[in-house]
Structure 1
Amino acid sequence: MPYSDPGPPALRLSSTGTLTYGLSVGEVLGVSTLADARLIGGTDGLGRIVQRLNVMEVPDILAWVKPHELLLTTGYPLRNTPQSLGRLVADLDERGLAALAIKLGRYLDDLPPEMIKQADRLGFPLILLPGDVGFDDILNQVLTDILNRQAAVLARTEEVHRALVQIVLGGGGLQEVVDEVATLLDVAVLALDGERRVLAGSGAPEHLQAMRSLADDAGPGDRAGDRAGDRAGDRAGDKSDHLVVPVVAGGFDHGRIIAYSAGGALRETDIGILERAATVAALVITKQQAITAVESKYRADFLRDVLAGRAGDDDRVVAHCAAFGWDFGRPVAVVVAELDAEGRRPPPRAEGAPAGRTEERISQDRLAAAWTAAVRRRDPRGAVAGFANEVVAVVGTDVDPAVLAKDATAIFGEHLPVRRTFSTGISRTVDSAAALPGAYEQAGKSVRVGRQLHGAGAVAHFDQLGVYRLLSLVSDPAELHAFVRETLGDLAGDDDPELVDLRRTLQVLLETNLNVAETARRLHFHYNTLRYRIGKLERMLGPFTEDAHLRLNLTLALHVLRMRGI
């Protein structure tokens, strides 16, 4: 069978995801000492990688072979058991050998047809060696080529690593790193963060979009790209249109680097370069995160002082905020967002997250990032800061805070493995920095009362709270509970369905200003039935149809019951 070189790579991925350096079987057949060798079976296995060589001298060779070996034999150990040759191919393939090279004529005259058929079926190369070539010549030349190839690949990878490190030492960022890798490999390169958002890219727009689609198709829980060199090719030796390596530092997943070539020109030798790029990218990202964390803390501390009234007079506050890019010299409103935790326990630490960084902390950081992105998009002069249990934004009146909350919700929910919600409170508009502490208090009150009234995910404006704003001023919940029990009596509980139904009748009566006909229509009761119920309610609560003060107390008590969590 004639041999044709498929142009295989110099390395491949092992089953554990680590790189395996060596020559393909096709390249081994191209060395001068094997110029007259013939491939007689297993053509599909030419891409198998040869890392080492071994000589078969004993019948029980299976105990001594290792993966990626080229096994040489004269057939001497098999001369008395030719019937085992067919099984030998399957056993060697099962142990991950690269190929078997046999020299015929002295101990074996030919190979059984079933052995060749087995090699073709398994894609296990069978090589017929020329009789005038010594094993020592083959060993010396192939091992020398393997070592030279390994040295060349490692030298190139090290050179790339030094170039990328110099970029960082020279003050370059992730974009410069990506540009350098794209130039070295002559492909498009994209860097994504852990949420698959684009951090940097280099290449034609259509190629960058193709890589973005590759990342999106994986799905939120798909970890296929986590191993080094996830690729389109299925066999060692295949070229690929894309390669993916993870960016990991300190046990935390910082994202992915994807290289893409529309012509499928990427080889697995490029994985080493991408891995070095991922290492440098992790350095750049963690460095930027450290700087951002310090800057964010400084900004958050100053905003906290402003909202507490400790930052000085208006002129000082406005001038200091201008250095951050914040405009506090215009009418603004304060927005407070808090994670909803009602009815659910904090989930366990996310897989891959470093110790001490809980899922709750990660969610809080994600919420701050979502609001930062939303405010930057709608109001670049607005301020955002993440505090311990909330995110606070100060935005201009030309921006609708409810729209900001909608934008932040969409960003916050991207790629979340577990659904989380947050509630939002909005203050009145204020015209001076001195009024911001009061506005902050209004927004905080709005978020809490809004959640009590409407549940998780509520968006509440301070001016829309009405009587609930006054009720929220009562600092002692026990006092409110006592007022509800004294005013509603047995109707305050939820255990008896009949009493809950009566309470609903009372609520609709009060909402319709005691309009019996309208109440009967809303509740789908007969007029006489409703009259009976009114009489029963008055026996339990007093003559509320005649006493305006009693009606007011009943209305307030029903409002308190609507304020969940009090």
Structure 2
Amino acid sequence: MQITVKQVLELEVFKNAKVVAGKDGLTNIVRNATLMEVPDIFPYIDSQSILITTLYPIYSNEDAINELIPKLVELNLSGICIKPARYIDEIPKSMIRQADNLNFPIIELPSEANLSKLISEILEISLKKHIEILNFRNLVHERLMELFLKGENIDVLVNNLSDIVGYPIILIDNDLNVICSSLDLINRNISVLYDTIVNNKLLIKIDGNEYKDGAFIKYSINAGKTRFGDIILLKEETDSESLKLAIEQASFLIASVFYKNFAVLEKERSLQDSFIRDILNGKIESGIDVINEAKNFGWKLEFPQVIMVVKLLIDNEKKKKEIYEELMYSKFIERVLNKKMLSPVNDLKTVYIDNSLVVFINSIFIKNSKKSFVEVGNLIIDSLKNRVKVGIGISNAAENIESFSLVYKEAHNSLIAGSVLNKNSFVSHYDDYEMFKIIKEVKDMDILNAYVNKKIGKIIDYDKTNDMKLMETLKVLIEENFNAKSAAQKLYIHYNTLRYRIIRIKELGIDIENGFEIGELVLAYNIYLWIMANKK
């Protein structure tokens, strides 16, 4: 607990002193006291000090008197104690006006005041408070360290911290989700959100009551370069140095628990990823054994299962790795699925494989699963739109363990096909490419390449040397059933621009008016996508 000007005035040595100006500044914090013995005192004083003086060094200098109060406020002093009568008859009215305007306390000392003793008393009470704060910090450290060494979890640490400081505690992750709270907040409706995004200020709501910035103390939980979240103590920041130190001590130990859990999770994740790779590669001896082993990783493996592949579309490998780790550790995708009320956490499993996140989702109770999962994909994209582009491929449902390998390829191929078709973030479902099921049965790639080259090869070659985007135009024309007006709107180009592109396509020998030719054109285009997907 810090001491204020008001508390200093409660000392016995100040019993005959009176506040003559700046009463609104009596809550200013006092850390030190300084005697003014020279005119140029400013280089020798610390912020949050009380200046004690007779004004002797400047009493005959009107300019210095007029400059003193504003300069002390600028240097963040707490107040000034002036002993008149010896060198000045009374405290200058100009100083009183300035102090009132700036909420800077001026304390008039009685003629019998001993300035040295005043300073000694202030320093003594300040030192006493400092020792109390250090003792309190040590108490927090010792009690929580004892729990930490016993291997207690974060919930126990948070509850004990709340018990020591006497105020409710909330623990949040980097996405403002409540990880845990002290017992006095159990079963309360708690939400944490940004009140002012620009200034990164938080707003906490508990059962309809709002706590804005300044109504709580927040401290980051860090271990090395990893940030796990924040501790929030529901107590106004004013006069709370001891509480801040307590939270600081607690944050070190809580960060250590997080880091220990993180290391354990990394080891488990490595074993889990190896286990799932074997499933996707068809290395299965017994379906029952696989289901039982999945339980060891907290995975309730039941069927049907849909696979979703989430890929970050950026070249910066360091940033990509950081975001993947954050998404995995914070269970971001699981929370998005829960938000859509699609699946409980233990029915999901997210793993990192081949530079993508692969999500297994139990879809047994999900109606219209394609629509539902596309909506989830769009939610993921929307949540990350300000940070990174995302591609998402979604499979049909696997009915048994043996078909996992097939549906993983479906999800992966739909991801690749989507990346061929889209320059920005996208969600791509395997059913969007029904023709792929037929095309993949053709084992001779030379036949497929020859067909593509014959039907749309000239467009592909033309785009390599010209910037008319004829393949993109053909894609949208196919999607819009060759309705030129709708295609122009979707491409965000003028109708005449689209007509010019169509004329150029025709000049390349491509017939987009004959029904049978259009059918072959669509087939050739889908074969082209299939080939591109397999190349990638």
Residues 121-146 of structure 1: CA deviation (Å, up to 9, x unaligned): 11221111222232232222221111
CA distance in 1, matches of 2:377, 2:458: 43
Aligned to 1:423: 392
**Does the Cα contact within 8 Å between 1:100 and 1:126 map onto a contact in 2?**
yes
> 1:367 Cα deviation (Å)?
4.5
Say which of 108, 111, 134 aligns to 2:114: 134
SS of the residue 1:257 aligns to: strand
Structural mapping, 1:426-465, within 5 Å: 426-431=395-400, 433-453=401-421, 458-462=426-430, 465=433
Alpha-carbon distance change, 302 to 157 in structure 1, aligned in 2, over 3 angstroms = same
Q: Does 1:359 align with 2:319?
A: yes
Please report how far the alpha carbon of residue 340 of structure 1 lies from its aligned counterpart in structure 2 after TM superposition.
4.8
CA distance in 1, matches of 2:306, 2:416: 15
Find out whether 1:371 has 2:333 as its counterpart: yes
1-side partners of 2:274 and 2:506: how far apart?
55
2:375 to 403, 406, 425: 406
Q: Cα gap change, 1:98/1:331 in structure 2, threshold over 3 Å: closer, same or farther?
A: closer
State the AA in 1 paired with 2:392. Answer: S
1:202 and 1:179 mapped to 2: Cα distance? Answer: 5
Pairing 1:316–2:284 present: no
How far apart are 1:149 and its partner, in Å?
A: 0.5
Matches within 5 A, 1:290-329: 290-328=263-301
> What are the ranges of 5 or more consecutive residues in structure 1 without an aligned counterpart?
1-9, 12-22, 226-230, 235-239, 348-356, 513-518, 525-532
Partner of residue 205, structure 2: none
Alpha carbons of 1:232 and 1:131: their partners in 2 closer, same or farther (altered >3 Å)?
farther
**Cα distance change of structure 1 residues 77 and 389 upon mapping to structure 2, 3 Å threshold:** same
Residue aligning to 1:283: 256
- Whole-angstrom CA distance in 2 between matches of 1:165 and 1:72: 43
Distance across 2 between alignment mates of 1:415 and 1:119: 51
Tell me the equivalent position of 1:198.
178
> In 2, are the aligned partners of 1:425 and 1:445 still within 8 Å (CA)?
no
- Partner of 1:391 in structure 2? 357
Task: Please say if residues 83 and 113 of structure 2, whose CA atoms lie closer than 8 Å, have aligned partners that are also in contact.
Answer: no
The answer (yes or no) to whether the contact 2:459–2:508 under 8 Å persists in 1 is no
- 97, 115, 123: which one aligns with 2:103: 123
User: What do residues 151-186 of structure 1 show as CA deviations (whole Å, max 9, x unaligned)?
Assistant: 001101210122122222222222222222322333
Question: Partner residue of 2:492?
Answer: none
Give TM-score, length-normalised by structure 2: 0.79
String of CA shifts for 1:46-97, please: whole Å, max 9, x gaps: 1222222221122222232221222222232234335532221122222222
Letter in 2 for 1:425: I
Pair 1:208–1:128, CA change in 2 (3 A):
farther
Distance 1:543 1:153 in 2: 82
Count of residues in correspondence between the two structures? 501
Q: Please, which moves more after superposition, 33-42 or 88-97? A: 88-97
- Aligned residue identity for 1:201: S
For 1:25 and 1:364, how far apart are their aligned partners in 2?
51
> 1:248-291 deviations in whole A, cap 9, x for unaligned?
22133321222225x99984542222222222222222222222
How far is the alpha carbon of 1:335 from its aligned partner? 0.7
2-side partners of 1:74 and 1:414: how far apart? 63
Cα distance in structure 1, aligned partners of 2:279 and 2:260: 29
What is the match of residue 516 of structure 1? none
Q: For residue 505 of structure 1, report the CA deviation from its aligned partner.
A: 12
The superposition leaves residues 465-504 of structure 1 with CA deviations (integer Å, 9 ceiling, x where unpaired) of 2223454688999986664343346455455979889979
Hey, what's the Cα distance between the residues in 1 that align with 2:242 and 2:15?
Answer: 26
Q: 1:563/1:65 Cα in 2 relative to 1: closer, same or farther (>3 Å)? A: same
TM-score (norm 1): 0.75
Measured in 1, the distance between the counterparts of 2:82 and 2:96 equals: 12
Percent identity over paired residues: 21
- Match of 2:351, as an amino acid? A
1:559 aligns with 2:526: yes
> CA-to-partner distance for each residue in 1:295-324, whole Å, 9 max, x for gaps?
122111111112123353334323322333
Structure 1 counterpart of 2:162: 182
Q: Is the 8 A contact 2:311 2:390 kept in 1?
A: yes
Q: How does 1:124-163 map to 2 (within 5 A)?
A: 124-163=104-143
- CA distance in 1 between counterparts of 2:470 and 2:509 reads 11
- With over 3 angstroms needed to count, the CA separation of the structure-2 counterparts of 1:557 and 1:142, relative to structure 1, is same
Give the aligned CA root-mean-square deviation in angstroms: 4.3
Distance 1:289 1:312 in 2: 31
Cα distance between partner residues in 1 of 2:467 and 2:60 = 92
CA spacing shift, 1:325–1:498, aligned 2, 3 Å: closer
The one of 68, 76, 82 aligned to 1:96: 76
- Number of the residue aligned with 1:354: none
Deviations along 1:208-244, one digit per CA (max 9) or x if unpaired, are 656x34x33243x54347xxxxx9899xxxxx63222
Going from structure 1 to structure 2, the CA distance change for 1:84 and 1:207 (only over 3 Å counts) comes to farther
Q: Which residue of 1 aligns with 2:307?
A: 335
Does the C-alpha gap of structure 1 residues 115 and 404 become closer, same or farther in structure 2, counting only changes over 3 Å?
Answer: same
CA contact 2:373–2:394 (8 Å) conserved in 1:
no
CA distance in structure 1 between the aligned counterparts of 2:52 and 2:414, rounded to whole angstroms: 80
Q: Quick one: distance in 2 between partners of 1:207 and 1:504? A: 53
Counterparts of 2:177 and 2:475 in 1: how far apart (Å)? 49
In 2, are the aligned partners of 1:100 and 1:125 still within 8 Å (CA)? yes
Task: Check whether the contact 1:193–1:256 (CA below 8 A) recurs between aligned residues.
Answer: yes
Distance 1:256 1:40 in 2: 43
Offset, 1:191: 0.7
Matched, 1:42 2:4: no
Q: Is the 8 A contact 1:453 1:564 kept in 2?
A: no
**Among residues 51, 67, 72, which one is paired with 2:31 in the alignment?**
51
1:217 aligned partner: 195
- 1:17: which partner in 2? none
Cα distance, 1:31–1:475 mapped onto 2, change above 3 Å: farther
- Cα distance in 2 for residues equivalent to 1:173 and 1:539: 70
Q: Is the 8 A contact 1:45 1:125 kept in 2?
A: yes
* CA separation of 1:89 and 1:502: change in aligned 2, threshold 3 A: closer
Aligned twin of 1:250: 224
